[in-house]
Structure formats: structure tokens, C-alpha cells
Amino acid sequence: MSAFTPTEMMTIAAARALGNEDVCFVGIGAPSAACNLARLTHAPGITLIYESGTIATKPDVLPLSIGDGELCDTALTTVSVPEMFRYWLQGGRITVGFLGGAQIDRFANLNTTVVGPYDRPKVRLPGGGGAPEIATSSGEVFITMAMGLRAFVDRLPFVTSMGHGEGGDHRRRLGVTTKGPTKVMTDLCVMEPDPDSKELAVVSLHPGVSREQVQAACGWPLRFARDLAETPAPTAEELTVLRDLHARTQRAHAAD
């Protein structure tokens, strides 16, 4: 098996965080790759739900969007979007919400709205979609994002999806009873919030990655766990299944 890429390591680390009994609200892109990798390896019983209302979907290729026919074609059933959010998500039936974003801060708040001032942005992003509701109503939230100074920023220009707000017990003070972000999987490391302050701390470095590399890709002074671990390298099975999934996806989309 050839060497793995940082993106493959990120996806595999994210997949490992999921369990067979999870009911997972899946975001498009990296979260979708991680969730389907988990389904195809150690968690065949996982229930994947997409924002378009597809329940227990088992796509053979990764969807281009929530409206991709692959999701509906391979789902156990499809419900309306209002039912998906009101009954399934806000009804407390989702164990894990899996999100990404354009920017993240030290308390795992996400921005997918604008870069720069809201009324005169440098970049206007796609917006929140269902992410704000996923972030507050899922039992817990996993985030997967590649690190870089433009993505991991000291202060967000706009908070689209709440992580731990201002830190500490901010979620509870706002009446939000779910756990919020519990893991952030990146291409360099894995982060988790401090139990008290809720500020993200690096708990695991990926193979061959140094503390200095991680800090250089982050816009705030990072904390590192006292018992800092090394993320286990991808197994041959994980890499084979992930690469086959991406190869099938590329072939399918090239034929469209």
C-alpha cells in the first residue's frame, strides 16, 4: 500500500470516530467521505441521513450535493425537509452531526457565510443551509477541515453555526442542551474541546506531523494535551476502501 495523503489521514481519522449505532446527519464533501468510509468498513449498521430527507442512504458513489439522485435511489426512505428537521433533527433522533466549514475559531464556531464585513464582504460563501440547526440539535458534532491560516482564525467575521460560543457554559446559558463539537479532525491533527473552557486543544498528531507544523497552520496560540498521542496510521483496508470509493465517484461523475 502506497503512502497516504494528509487528506486521506483526515478522512480516515474522522471515519474512526463514528460507531455502528450512530444516526449521523451528513454534510456534503469531506464529512460525506468520512461517513461512507465508516459505513463501508467498521460501522456497517450506521444510519446516514442527508439534509434532503434521505434516511439510511447507502450511496455507491459520493454525492455532488444533497440533491444528488444517488442519495434518494439508495435510501431506505425519503421524507420531506420539514419532517427531517422538525421530527428527526429537532426531535433529538440524531446522535452525530458531521460538519465542515470555511472558517473555524478556537471554540469550534463555524463560518460559512462571508469573509470580511457582512455588508461588503471579500468573499460571499454559500451560507448556513441546515448547519446551524445541525450544530445545536445533534447529540454531538464532529467537524472535519483542512488546517490553514485562512481557515483556522482567531476571530470569525460571522458565526454561521454555533460551536461553543464564547466558551465555558455558553451553550447551556443559551438553553442549548446538546454537547456541541466534541472532535475536530484536520489534515494535521485531531482536536477536542477542553472540558471546562471548551477551547480546542490538540489531542493527537498525525504520523510525521510536529507541533510546530500544526501551530504554523493555526491563527491562535494552540493548546496541546499533556498526554499528546499520535494518530494511528491508516490501515491497508481503510486506504483501499477510501480510494475505491473516490475512484468510483470520479468515474460516475465523469460519465454524467
Taking only the tens place, the pLDDT of each residue in 149-191 is 999 999 999 999 999 999 999 999 999 999 999 999 999 999 9
| Greatest Cα pair distance in the chain | 51
Give residue 113's domain range.
6-255
Residue 113, domain member (yes or no): yes
Q: Where are the beta strands (DSSP E) in 59-180?
A: 77-78, 96-99, 103-104, 110-111, 114-115, 123-124, 140-144
Q: Give the per-residue SS3 of 21-36.
A: CCEEEECCCHHHHHHH
* pTM beyond 0.75, yes or no: yes
Residue 37, domain member (yes or no): yes
Alpha carbon distance 175, 74 (integer Å): 37
Say how many domains are in the chain: 1
Residue 32, domain member (yes or no): yes
The percent of residues in the chain predicted with pLDDT above 70, rounded, is 98
Residue 73, domain member (yes or no): yes
Helix (H/G/I), strand (E/B), else coil: 245? helix
Please state, rounded to an integer, the average pLDDT across all residues of the chain.
95
Nearest to residue 43, comparing CAs of 17, 62, 63? 17
Which residue of the set 51, 70, 199, 238 is catalytic? 51
Residue 130, domain member (yes or no): yes
- Per-residue confidence band for 255, with pLDDT thresholds at 50, 70 and 90: low
Residue 1, domain member (yes or no): no
Residue 101, domain member (yes or no): yes
Is 192 a catalytic site residue? no
Question: In this structure, what CATH number is given to the domain that contains residue 169?
Answer: 3.40.1080.10
